[in-house]
Structures are given as structure tokens and as C-alpha cells.
């Protein structure tokens, strides 16, 4: 161990694991991107012989012509109609849970506010859980009400990303694809087969998959326990691949039935990023220059590694107040010993850099700086890989902003991958970007001064403020993780967070589709001496800087009141 590692409490093994993870993400970007590009183009995949008849049967039953393309307005209307319809079906299933089958524990239906919050949560790919899954939901609700959304909400995000890719790639057309075809193909040829394979791997790794409700166990002390089980592996696989994050158990991926071994833990982390990194290469291929995709991936990995390093150093360094009391070592509160500080820090950075929200450690128990990075990752719009689909189109919004600013600074023509970026695209990009801070900061401010908002806070001082800030950040960013000290299952929080989740998802998606429609109508502009280069180190640095500056200027005051103030208090031995 080096002297620097000793000073921070980190280890060579921990750093090696983090670096190995980054290398694997870069390595799988092209293979996954090739598979995604085939779906983007509508070409057959190796599974077409088996699943092709199923795909065509879906189209016939629904009366859909997959070859009939849509304008961005038609695409957006189809997408929104589908989301509203599936949300209503989910709400009904959750309310009627008590009279439906596959309910071996006899659980009652959910209250109206909780059912509404949960339905919107899973439709928006947030998977915010204001309930304990094992004691609130039946097996039918887990499988029929929630798991389908893990596929469909993820597929919706990828479909919208494909529409934006077509906006950049196509020339002088008003069409951006067919939502129903994109949704079907992504679900059938990507998410479903990959989830089946990962589910089987997880079952082999010790994750249960059964219709049984519970098993009896005897502890080492001789006590008897009843352990809830169920169809865990199938939900676990798609929750990671689709960056959904909703756990079968309240403890999520910290629970030994969801995440039993370090190997399963690493596979889960890799699954969270797998599709997101593939979409960067797919974008480059779609616009005819894979260097564009590699540049985006490089910027993402720089931001990710920097954030992970801060979390790891903060958690491995531990709490100085405990050190003064003679209790040296890493901050292990809220962490599983079988993972340790390094794997817990890496998981926290991954799940918030992506729009996943699954956790293998409790973020509420992190050190102030360790908790700041997951919070800041989400506040950046989760563009560091991000959710499947939503990450890449969120990043491209910043790319449009960056190339426009760069053009103004150096007098170059604002162009990106052959399309002139004009006022309409910039206005729509800014609209999509500012929606998030308005909702996050507005909801936090309201909850910090109202009795209903303060009633759910479990801690005093800046940490209690951070719990509120994290809740609205997670909901608006469609992440779903939480500073679990906040009691969110109240009518106030179920209502306000549901609104935040809906705004954070669809008030971004619709402007993105409008940008796609606008770009698709433009002619291609070849790169010239007056164009700003968008593939080199300068461009990567500019992207990183724009993302950090926009996020820093927007959220630094709120972060100063929360985790930064708590860190200063900790250093001065002040407790609350």
C-alpha cells in the first residue's frame, strides 16, 4: 500500500477494482453498440429467426405498420399515450392487490396515494420505493405490475434516444422513426434475452427465483426466523440492465438474497452501465463517425472516475470524530462487510451516474463528502452514462449547449455532427436542462419550510436538509435511490415526488423529440475550417467543463447548506 493510500484509508485492491471496471466498460462499448445499432437501423439480429414471428404477431394484434414512420409530434404523442395507459393499469393492479391471486401472505391493496406514487415511479423509470417491497407487495404485483415497467420504461428511453440519433443522422425529412416498432424491438431483442441470461447467472450465484412466499431458518444462536423469498432473480436482472433500481426487498442490493456475493455484486454494477456505454458507440455509428461516440464515452468516464475517487477516499478515510475516539478505519456504517468500502463506493457512484438507484449500501450513512457525490451525479442530469437512453440524450443536450457556447467564444460556426445548431435547438435544450433544477430546488425549498415536508425528516441540521434535497433530486432525476432517513410514505411526499418524477421524465423527453424533429429537417453541412472540432481532447475537456459549471453554479448553494456544511461541522466536532 502506498503512503497516499495509507493516508486516505484506500487500498491498491480497491483502486484496481475501480480501474478494472472502467476498462471493462470501455471494452464492451463497441460490442453492445453493434447490437444496439442493428436495432436502431431495424436490421435483423441473431435472434430474428426465433423472435421474428413473435414481433410480427405483436404488430398484427395491435394493428401497427412498423414501416410507417412518425413525425416527432406523432412519436411524442404515441409515447405519452402509452405511458399514461400503463400507469393507469399499474395503479389498478396495486389497488386491487388484495383480491388478486399470487398473494400468499394475504397483503392488502395499496393506499391511493402510495399506489399513484408507485405507478408513476415505475412508468418513469425512477423506481422510487416509499414502501418495503417484501411486506407491501404480493408476488403478482412484483411480477405483473412492476417488472413489465422495468422493461418498457427502459425501452422507452432507448426509443427516444434512437429518435434523436435519427434527427442527427437524417437529412431534410420530418420523420424520426416509429415509436411502437422501436419499443417492441428493443424489448424483444435486447432487454428480454439479456435479462433472461443475467437472471440465470444470478440464480447460479445464489439469488432466489421461486413462487414460494417464505422459508423458515434457524440462526446460529438457535433462534427461528421466517425469511421472505419470491421471484427475485428475474426482477434483479432487469432492474440493473434497464437502470430501474427497484428492489424486491427494502434493503435493495444490500440484501443477501438480491446480492449474495462479491462476484454477483460486480456483475450487477457492470449490467447497470452495459447498455449506456453501448449507446455512445451506437450514436457515433449512426452519425457516420464513431469518434463522436468515443469522445462522449471519454467525457463520461472522466467524470465518473473523478466522482468515484472522491467517494472512495471519503468512505475509506472514515469519520474523524470516531478516529479521535480511538476507532480508526473506514466508514462502515450502513455497508455490507462482504463488499467493503471500495465496492460500496463504486456501486454508489455507478448507480447515481446511471439512472439506476439500486444500492448495496445506505447513502444516508455515508460521510458528508461521500454522500455529496451521488447527490451531485444525479443533479448533473445523470449524463455520466445515465439511464438507458436518457443518459445519452441528456448528454447530447449538453453537447448542443457546449458547441453553441464554443462557437460564440471563438467565432466558429456552431455545428455538431453535420447539423447547424440554431436558436430553436438551443432554446429546447436549455428548456429541457432547466426543468430539473427548477423542480429539484423548488420542491426542496417548499418541503424545508412546510410542516408536512419537515415531518418526514429524521435528522436535524444540514443532514436533514440533505435528506429532503436528495429525495427531490432522486425523484426529478428519475434515479430512485434515497437518503433513507426521510419518511417519504406520506400523502405529501407521495404526491410531490410523483409530480417531480413525471416532470423529470417527460418534460425532458418531449423537448428532446422536438430537437430530433428540428434536426432531421436540416440539410447536412460538411465540416470546414470554420467548424469547431468535436472529437479531440479539447472537445472532451469542454464537455466536462460545461457539465460541471452548469451543475456547480446551479446546485452549489444547496450543496453548501447540506453536505458541505455537514462536512465542515464534522471537522469542527460539531454534532446535531
The answer for residues whose C-beta is within 8 angstroms of residue 533's C-beta and 6 or more apart is 539
How far apart, in whole angstroms, are the C-alpha atoms of residue 543 and residue 399? 7
Q: Which residues pair with 214 in a beta bridge?
A: 228
Residue-by-residue DSSP string for 37-95: HHHHHT---TTHHHHHHHHHHHHHHHT--TTS--BHHHHHHHHHHHHHHHHHHHHHHHH
Sheet strands (E) in 122-269: 214-218, 224-228
- Mention every residue, 6+ apart, whose C-beta is less than 8 A from residue 417: 168, 287, 288, 289, 292, 534
Helix (H, G, I), strand (E, B) or coil at 326: coil
Q: How far is CA 420 from CA 123, 393, 443, in A?
A: 34, 18, 36
Q: β-strands 415-416, 224-228: how paired?
A: unpaired
The CA distance from 562 to 503, in Å, is 24
Report the run of H or E that residue 376 belongs to, with start and end. Answer: helix 368-379
Closest CA to 277 of 400, 360, 395, 159: 395
Ranges of each domain in the chain: 390-571
Total Cβ atoms within 10 A of residue 319: 18
Look at residue 412 and give its three-state secondary structure. Answer: coil
pLDDT of residue 126: 95
| Whole-number pLDDT of residue 469 | 97
Each of the 576 residues of the chain gets a pLDDT tens digit; together they read 444 443 457 899 999 999 999 999 999 999 999 999 999 999 999 999 999 999 999 999 999 999 999 999 999 999 999 999 999 999 999 999 999 998 988 999 999 999 999 999 999 999 999 888 888 999 899 889 998 999 999 999 999 999 999 999 999 999 999 999 999 999 999 999 999 999 999 999 999 999 887 888 888 888 888 888 888 999 999 999 999 998 888 899 999 999 999 999 999 999 999 999 999 999 999 999 999 999 999 999 999 999 999 999 999 999 888 888 787 789 999 999 999 999 999 999 999 999 999 999 999 999 999 999 999 999 998 789 999 999 999 999 999 999 998 888 777 778 999 999 999 999 999 999 999 999 999 999 999 999 999 999 989 899 999 999 999 999 999 999 998 888 999 999 999 999 999 999 999 999 999 999 999 999 998 877 777 889 999 999 999 999 999 888 899 999 999 999 999 999 888 888
CA distance 570 to 119: 39
DSSP line for 470-527: HHHHHHHTT-----TTS---SHHHHHHHHHHHHHHHHHHHHHHHHHHHHHHTSPP---
Q: What share of the chain is helix, strand, coil (3-state, %, to 5)?
A: 65, 5, 30
Residue 473's closest CA among 574, 363, 573, 339?
363
**First-last CA distance in the chain:** 36
Helix axes of 537-559 and 368-379: crossing angle, nearest 10 degrees: 120
Rounded to an integer, what distance in angstroms lies between the CA atom of residue 480 and that of residue 352? 9
CA separation for the pair 108, 484 (Å, rounded): 24
* pLDDT for 323: 82
Torsion on CA atoms 397, 515, 474, 118, rounded to nearest 10: -160
Amino acid at each position: 500500500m502506498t503512503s497516499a493510500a495509507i493516508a486516505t484509508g484506500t487500498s491498491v485492491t480497491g483502486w484496481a477494482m475501480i480501474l478494472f471496471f472502467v476498462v471493462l466498460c470501455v471494452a464492451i462499448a463497441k460490442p453492445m453498440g453493434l447490437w444496439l445499432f442493428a436495432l436502431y437501423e431495424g436490421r435483423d439480429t441473431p435472434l430474428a429467426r426465433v423472435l421474428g414471428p413473435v414481433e410480427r404477431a405483436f404488430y398484427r394484434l395491435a394493428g401497427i405498420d412498423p414501416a410507417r414512420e412518425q413525425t416527432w409530434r406523432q412519436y411524442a404523442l404515441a409515447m405519452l399515450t402509452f405511458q399514461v395507459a400503463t400507469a393507469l393499469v399499474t395503479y389498478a393492479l396495486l389497488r386491487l392487490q388484495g383480491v388478486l391471486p399470487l398473494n400468499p401472505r394475504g397483503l392488502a391493496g395499496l393506499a391511493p396515494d402510495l399506489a399513484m406514487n408507485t405507478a408513476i415511479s415505475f412508468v418513469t423509470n425512477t423506481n422510487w420505493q416509499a414502501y418495503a417491497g417484501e411486506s407491501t407487495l404480493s408476488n403478482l404485483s412484483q411480477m405483473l405490475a412492476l417488472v413489465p415497467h422495468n422493461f418498457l420504461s427502459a425501452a422507452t428511453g432507448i426509443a427516444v434516444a434512437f429518435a434523436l440519433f435519427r434527427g442527427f443522422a437524417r437529412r431534410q425529412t420530418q420523420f424520426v422513426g416509429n415509436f411502437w416498432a422501436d419499443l417492441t424491438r428493443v424489448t424483444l431483442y435486447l432487454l428480454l434475452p439479456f435479462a433472461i441470461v443475467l437472471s440465470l447467472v444470478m440464480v447460479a450465484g445464489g439469488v432466489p427465483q421461486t413462487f414460494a412466499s417464505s422459508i423458515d431458518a434457524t440462526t446460529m444462536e438457535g433462534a427461528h426466523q421466517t425469511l421472505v423469498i419470491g421471484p427475485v432473480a428475474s426482477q434483479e436482472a432487469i432492474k440493473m440492465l434497464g437502470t430501474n433500481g427497484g428492489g424486491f426487498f427494502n434493503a435493495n442490493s444490500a440484501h443477501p438474497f438480491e446480492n449474495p456475493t462479491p462476484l454477483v455484486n460486480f456483475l450487477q454494477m457492470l449490467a447497470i452501465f452495459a447498455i449506456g456505454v453501448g449507446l455512445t458507440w451506437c450514436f457515433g455509428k449512426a452519425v457516420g463517425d464513431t469518434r463522436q461516440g468515443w469522445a462522449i464515452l471519454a467525457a463520461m468516464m472522466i467524470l465518473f472516475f473523478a466522482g468515484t475517487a472522491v467517494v472512495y477516499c471519503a468512505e475509506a478515510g472514515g469519520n474523524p470524530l470516531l478516529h479521535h475516539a480511538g476507532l480508526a478505519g473506514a466508514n462502515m456504517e450502513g455497508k455490507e462487510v462482504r463488499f467493503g468500502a471500495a465496492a460500496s463506493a463504486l456501486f454508489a457512484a455507478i448507480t447515481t451516474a446511471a439512472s439506476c438507484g439500486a444500492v448495496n449500501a445506505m447513502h444516508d450513512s455515508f460521510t458528508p463528502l461521500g454522500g455529496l457525490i451521488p447527490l451531485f451525479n444525479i443533479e448533473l442530469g445523470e449524463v455520466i452514462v445515465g439511464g438507458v437512453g436518457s443518459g445519452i440524450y441528456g448528454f447530447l443536450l449538453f453537447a448542443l449547449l457546449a458547441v453553441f457556447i464554443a462557437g460564440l467564444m471563438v467565432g466558429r460556426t456552431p455545428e455538431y455532427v453535420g447539423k447547424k445548431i440554431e436558436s430553436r435547438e438551443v432554446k429546447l435544450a436549455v428548456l429541457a436542462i432547466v426543468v430539473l433544477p427548477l423542480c429539484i430546488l423548488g420542491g426542496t425549498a417548499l418541503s424545508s419550510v412546510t410542516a408536512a415536508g419537515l415531518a418526514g425528516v429524521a435528522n436535524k441540521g444540514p443532514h436533514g436538509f440533505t435528506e429532503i434535497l436528495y429525495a427531490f433530486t432522486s425523484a426529478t432525476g428519475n434515479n430512485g435511490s434515497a437518503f433513507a432517513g426521510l419518511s417519504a410514505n406520506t400523502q405529501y411526499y407521495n404526491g410531490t415526488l410523483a409530480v417531480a418524477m413525471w416532470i423529470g421524465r417527460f418534460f425532458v423527453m418531449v423537448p428532446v423529440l422536438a430537437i430530433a424533429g428540428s434536426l432531421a429537417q436540416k440539410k447536412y453541412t460538411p465540416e470546414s475550417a470554420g467548424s469547431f472540432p468535436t472529437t479531440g481532447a479539447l472537445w472532451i475537456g469542454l464537455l466536462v467543463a460545461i457539465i460541471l459549471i452548469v451543475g456547480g453554479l446551479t446546485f452549489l448553494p444547496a450543496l453548501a447548506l447540506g453536505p458541505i456544511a455537514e462536512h465542515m461541522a464534522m471537522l469542527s466536532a460539531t454534532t446535531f
